[in-house]
Amino acid sequence: MGRTEIAAEDLELALDSGAELGEGPVWDDRAAVLWWVDIKGERVHRFDPADRSDTSWEVGGQVGSIALRESEPGVVLALPNGFSILDTVTGAVTERLPIEADLPGNRMNDGLCDARGRFWAGTMFTGPGRRATGSLYRLDPDWTATKVLDGIQTSNGIDWSNDGRTMYFADTPTQRIDAFDVDPESGTLSNRRTVLHIPQEDGGPDGMILDAEDHLWIALWGGGQVRRYTPDGELDTVVHIPAHRVTKCAFGGPDLQDIYITSAWVGDDERKRYPRAGGVFRCRTGVRGRPTTRFAG
């Protein structure tokens, strides 16, 4: 079979938000809404595709990612200073677990929950140049955090195979997708290896998710695409995005075959070249995603 190409003109601009750094889409299958974050705007958003309404909360810091909660209302926030909870009824933000207080140049970035309801989120250096001062943390349901990786420049896309025994991870400046063996019970990682290398001219690997067939969907920062790769690293599908900086995607809709894609822009010139950049895009894929796993704490 040949490679599938989805043209930019076939995408729908579901939400013309114009966010400078839209990120972290998460589909809420219970409410049939899409959660996403505006990192630079320091806001968490809740988009309802039914009426195209978008509600947002100011959270007092650059929020890298969020996790829905299993048993209580609100969402978990990966804020620059660590893990917090946003009460979506009152708008209150409560700090629960500080992270890297000794590294003020770092902030938290992308994250996702595994099948056991543990929220994994990493950090990145935000100053000039590149420093490998970032780490990846696993937040367990009892609100204890474990550092599972360090020496990271920009902790980004993360997801697991359907059997939960392989974790995929992107440290964007390395241009690699690495895989790890995972002990599903303990969350311990081992046997790190590179399964995919993205040429630098194609863009940097940013957010990532897996579908129900264990294929990887990778957003390319500076590449204007989302790409689907087989577990063996073969390029299967290319979705062309009318934005240069593509950040992450999430499966949603009643059958989990819609894909929502967040985007960003850098500088006024780029904003003029891509007037829809920063918006949330949507298209049908013909591929089924997986239900969102919620934080169990």
Cα–Cα distances in angstroms (integers) from residue 258 to residues 32, 184, 190, 193, 253, in the given order: 12, 29, 34, 31, 5
Q: Which of 110, 159, 171, 206 is catalytic?
A: 206
CB 251 within 8 A of CB 289: yes
Give the strand order in the sheet containing 33-38: 22-28, 33-38, 43-48, 53-58
| 8 A C-beta contact, residue 39 and residue 21 | yes
Side by side, which strands form the sheet with 106-113? 106-113, 119-125, 134-139, 145-152
Three-state secondary structure call for residue 269: helix
Please list, in sequence order, all residues whose beta carbon lies within 8 angstroms of the beta carbon of residue 186, skipping any fewer than 6 positions away: none
**What residues pair up with 26 in beta bridges, in sequence order?**
35
Q: For residues 96 and 42, what is the distance between their CA atoms, to the nearest angstrom?
A: 18
Residue 253: count other Cβ atoms within 10 Å of its Cβ. Answer: 18
Q: Which stretch of DSSP H or E encloses residue 271?
A: helix 268-273
Catalytic status, residue 202: no
User: Tokens 């440290």 — which residue?
Assistant: 171
- Annotated active-site positions, please? 206
